Amino acid sequence: MGQAFYVTGTGTDVGKTFFSSLFMAKYGKKFGFRYWKPIQTGTISADDTSFVQNTTHLPDSHFLKPSFEYKTPASPHYAAKLEGQSIDPKTLLALISKERNNNTLIEGAGGVFVPITENYLTIRAIQESNLGVVVVGSTELGTINHTLLTLEVLTSRFIPVYGFYLVGPKNDLQEDNATMIQKLGGVSLLGITNFPEQKLSSDEFNSFASTHFDIDRNVIDVVLNAEDEI
């Protein structure tokens, strides 16, 4: 029996899928993890599941198909509306519940206040799923504010936050950013991984993940030990 966990970000395109790719490359095969993005918008130009699979070259058995897919790159509530559809939160929660005792990385769409419907926010889905969360933030200027806001809203709702992980371009601010977020947010820094300096093949990316991601095993240890804590 395993334990699913949720990956959320401090905003859209902050690096959740990069983090997820790193995690799956390093731990997917070793610990039998699967990647799942339940709600995928913008399929006309992007597909995060295919991106992670192409990046890591893991077999199909390590991936679950999105349960709700929409063409327009927009908030789920609006992308669904444009196609004459809507997302049923009860259905979403039931699907998440089925994965609860599996080693599954569940990547959210955007940040915690992204509307899934006009009356149902992502933060509520996270809370009602009762899963632990890893918050992904940027290494760059502005991340202290954005990450602290995300941590505040999660912890104020008593959602178990495993910690935060920063990804992005290497810069002179990132170490202080991480220190201040940890000090002011009261949540553990799980690690920092900078973007590769050039495009990598899948073999090169897997090697990069092995040497640059979760060097101190903070992420995998908290995820694997979470079952006893929630």
pLDDT in tens, 63-95: 999 999 999 999 999 999 999 999 999 999 999
Choose, from 37, 71, 81, 199, the residue flagged as catalytic. Answer: 37
Residue 24 tokens, joined? 């799956």
Annotated binding site for Mg(2+): 17, 48, 107
The proportion of the chain whose per-residue pLDDT surpasses 90, expressed as a percent, equals 95
Residue 157's domain comprises 5-228
Confidence class for position 40, pLDDT limits 50, 70, 90: very high
How is residue 74 written in tokens?
A: 């927009």
Using an 8 Å Cβ cutoff, are 118 and 77 in contact? yes
Q: Residue 82's pLDDT is what?
A: 98
pLDDT tens-digit series, residues 4-24: 999 999 998 899 999 999 999
Burial tier of 228 (Cβ tally within 10 Å: 0-12, 13-18, 19+):
exposed
User: Please, what's the largest Cα pairwise distance for the chain?
Assistant: 47
Q: Is the pTM of this model over 0.85?
A: yes
Number of folded domains that form the chain? 1
Which CATH number does the domain housing residue 195 bear?
3.40.50.300
**Residue 167 in contact with residue 15, Cβ under 8 Å?**
yes
pLDDT tens track for 170-222: 999 999 999 999 999 999 999 999 999 999 999 999 999 999 999 999 999 99
Beta-bridge partners for 138:
167
Residues contributing to the annotated binding site for ATP: 13-18, 48, 107-110, 197
Between CA 227 and CA 132 the distance in angstroms is 9
Q: Could you tell me which of 182, 185, 183 has the C-alpha nearest to residue 218?
A: 182
Residue 26 annotated in active site: no
The rounded mean pLDDT for the chain is: 96
35, 24 in Cβ contact below 8 A?
yes
| pLDDT tens sequence across 124-168 | 999 999 999 999 999 999 999 999 999 999 999 999 999 999 999
**Binding residue ranges for substrate:** 41
The pLDDT of residue 227 is 61
Provide the 10 A C-beta neighbour count for residue 88: 13
Query: What are the phi and psi torsion angles at 135 (to 5°)?
Result: -95, 125
